[in-house]
Structure 1
């Protein structure tokens, strides 16, 4: 997550058609990525950090052994891959390439830069995933372009031992949530840990409150610029959020999310809206992963209840014209399988396989709950910076949310600022 804001800038910026040096796909010769032979397939990967790179290599080795095919992995720095993705795709991508669900998927699918794999979904993939996951893998044209690999849900995380000790009950409604926060404050526990120096963490809280206030469809349409960012519904989201701000950790803008998560680990703060992957890393390192639990963000409007959750999904797409479509299809089919995903997750005790056929008995307690949480969801969102234009997320929403946290009484100013910027990013 380091440098995430920088990676968002210019993600979909207009650039030349030639692939950026160093990110171009491997060539079409036998020694290159796609290969003219029938035994090769190329994979463009942003899994550049040591642990995920090794984990993905283990998955690919199993595929190669089983299929007797050679996968040429074209690994590039995670943030460089995101920054230069437009040129990479227009310049001729690898047969299969790593990417994200949500707006970032739909954007490239609408430009014809991702391959239609609807037939693969119909023939074999659908049985591995929930309807909500299929929805997140679908372009604006109703066709599928994405294979989910792993995910991690966002929710309200807490230590059950402290809840038990203090007699706290998990809230179901927003009013109960506010009441619980008040009890924690009176017990000299910071109700809500908050770290916003990284820029993006509190975007997740906006998402939670917005789809609880206005529903899934309004949320995704708002992210796409199809709804009014200056309207009453967005104001209602900030009005609801304002009720929580008095329970926030002071100086959230000056604290990173890791430090905020550590305050939950230490028992200084009672709850935190964050992803399982982020806070789970802190608890795992601290040796207290067994004392980490979560609940769905409480209901605000009963008509929407808690039917929507946020669970960003990483996965893979196929090139529109892969050099070796048969082998690319075989690789995607394997990537969708439970064994492949569970092999990858051996290195990560905080995320879950996207496949609903994964063996839950191999999961820790946190992962098992995450699986049930995702499987029960009617709708799944992908996090604001994946569900909307990345420039809008980085240059508008981060600034707007920071201003709101600094002064939650100026909702008019925050909403007017957002609304004044939308025409730069969304076509009417």
Structure 2
């Protein structure tokens, strides 16, 4: 028999199903920084003062986003993850930050972030405890939503540890209702589907799109190429269920970007970033921005054309078209009858792999169309230098892909003149 609390939540859920509304945020995938993969739950500020979960860490990352050019490229969120709070609520039952590691409080941190034109995200858990053992939100949804709004929070990531299937089915919608009731536009990130296997029928993506702005579908990413490829392949294997769920204001989230940490090479870093753009994924970097390799930052994370693919206003998630041995071909429809094309390989040999495809494979319906290809990772190659070269739908296109690397193209209909094409592709202002 359900407890009194769960009976109450079930009643509230019936109301939520018919009263939730689009909160108007995250019309394109959110971009910013998130602490978890790089810094986890390090609370030892005595021995690790620069790497512990503290207000200084988040101030440092806000400084880097603002001063090093990240914000200019669209990275606007500074997201706090688990282990930020005190082990106890206040006498008014409100959450509070750890008094030693966050002596100024979360509201002051939000003010610091907002003064730089950035936004602050925070972590919570709909269970009785967070995954790190800190106070959860179950039974405190209204109080916590009001507290976050009062502090000036702009995004909430709500995890699902220490909760069961029945509790999640009522807790996640209830928190959506309470966040909307505050009147503050808070991006709501739900981990609900990750706890239910990520797929229908256990996951109701229609409901998720009505109550959440993004959601984790799969397990946590680790600092390895193996983890990146496992996520990409799961997305490809289940794309028929995942693609219809995504769109403006509601995004599948394959987890954080790890380029700039310890494991990925430069080519592998390009692979993850490019594929996250194809997947219309949130771009939340989890690296130490104080020491990140400038080449990875400037050539990958600051690549305006790849970001443009990610932020395309149509919001259509990309699709895997073909798997050929250790190569994969993906395509994502973009505005203006354009297409983003990605070819990556996990071939381990020390020379590039040749790959041939045709535009007809991409599912383009216009049989008379010709397209110009713009290489959006390598702006100096022959595809761009010969920008008046067009390709018919059935014409073979052969490229070479570096080991564990990616090639990405924007296919633009040849109805544009060369001068129009350059303006359209190279002088884009981020949305």
**TM-score (norm. length: structure 2):** 0.28
Higher share in strand: 2
TM, length-normalised to structure 1: 0.28
